[in-house]
Amino acid sequence: MTTNNDKLANELAKAEEAIAELETKVAFQEHTIDALNEALAHQQIQIDKMQFQLRHVIDKVKGMEPSNIAKMSEETPPPHY
C-alpha cells in the first residue's frame, strides 16, 4: 500500500512542480507584455510628434519663396552648343 501512496505522492509533487513552473512563466509573460505595451505607447507618442513636425515642415516648405536659381530646363545652354 505504501508503494501506491509513494507513487501518488511522487505524482503530486511533479504536478505541483509543473504548476509552479507554469505560474513562473505566466508571471514572466505578463511582465513582458506590460513592458511591450509601455514601449508601444511611447512609440505612438513619438510617431504623433513626428507627424506633427513633418506637417509643420511641409507647410513651411510650401510657404517658401521660389528660389532665384533657375531650373535646369530654364537655363540657357553654354556658348559651345
**What pLDDT was estimated at residue 1?**
58
Domain extents in the chain: 2-62
**What pLDDT was estimated at residue 62?**
87
What the block records as the C-alpha cell of 59 is: 507647410
Question: Is pLDDT above 90 for 23?
Answer: yes
Question: How does pLDDT run across 26-78, given as a tens digit for each residue?
Answer: 999 999 999 999 999 999 999 999 999 999 999 998 888 777 776 777 777 77
Model confidence band, residue 81 (pLDDT cutoffs 50, 70, 90): low
Backbone angles phi, psi at 32, to 5 degrees: -65, -45
Read out DSSP for 28-44? HHHHHHHHHHHHHHHHH
**What pLDDT was estimated at residue 43?**
99
Between the CA of residue 80 and those of 8, 57, 71, what are the distances in Å?
Answer: 102, 41, 20
Closest CA to 1 of 9, 11, 13: 9
Sign of the torsion formed by the C-alpha atoms of 53, 54, 59 and 62: positive
